[in-house]
Amino acid sequence: MDKLRAFLGGRDHGNNDNRNILQTANEASTLGWGTRVKGFIACMVIGIVCSVLGVCCLFIPKMGIILFIVFYTFGNLCSLASTMFLMGPIKQLKRMCDKTRALATIVMITCLVLTLCAAFWWKIFALTLLFVILQVIAFAWYGLSYIPFARDAILKFFSMLCSMCVK
């Protein structure tokens, strides 16, 4: 269990001679395991509540779509930030930029920004809806990258489904 805590907490018991300023700051600002779990749960709950509240706001006339976009996007950001409590911000950012999830990270963050741009600056409903759908797919694909072989299983399932549809 201690190895899991050390791994998720970003603590490396290896060579500390080559530390840079970000690693030193990360080590100086580490939280206790209990505080990390509480922060994770709080951010995740806020993220889920905001996302559900956003979906409920869709039924409000005129302002519903704007409220949905704001709450849903904020909910996704909170959900993403929640994992930073478990791993630490530096390790989370490094993992987000790993070659296995870099594309998913870029698409996810781009869709978050473009959703807000389409809603508030461009005011194009169809484009906003498209970016929300892409945001959901990108966030799910990013999340699946943390589960071993999950993305391979999803791809295999859809390829099998497509091959059945073609016949």
The one-digit pLDDT tens for each residue of the chain (167 residues) are 565 566 565 555 544 555 676 566 556 556 788 898 999 999 999 999 999 999 999 888 888 888 998 999 999 999 989 988 888 888 889 999 999 899 999 999 999 999 999 988 998 888 988 999 999 999 999 989 888 899 999 999 999 999 988 87
**Both 88 and 149 in a single domain?**
no
**Both 17 and 90 in a single domain?**
yes
User: Within a 10 A sphere around the Cβ of 51, how many other Cβ atoms?
Assistant: 20
**Both 118 and 77 in a single domain?**
no
- Going by C-beta distance under 8 Å and a sequence separation of 6 or more, which residues neighbour residue 142? 96, 101, 104, 105, 108
In the chain, how many domains are there? 2
The reported pLDDT for the residue numbered 40 is 93
**Both 90 and 45 in a single domain?**
yes
Could you say which of 32, 64, 94 is where a domain stops?
94
Rg (C-alpha) for the chain, rounded Å, is 19
**Both 131 and 90 in a single domain?**
no
**Both 150 and 125 in a single domain?**
yes
Range of the domain at 109: 97-167
The reported pLDDT for the residue numbered 103 is 93
The Cα angle at residue 155 between residues 151 and 158, in degrees rounded to 5: 140
Could you say which of 61, 77, 94 is where a domain stops?
94
Could you say which of 62, 94, 126 is where a domain stops?
94
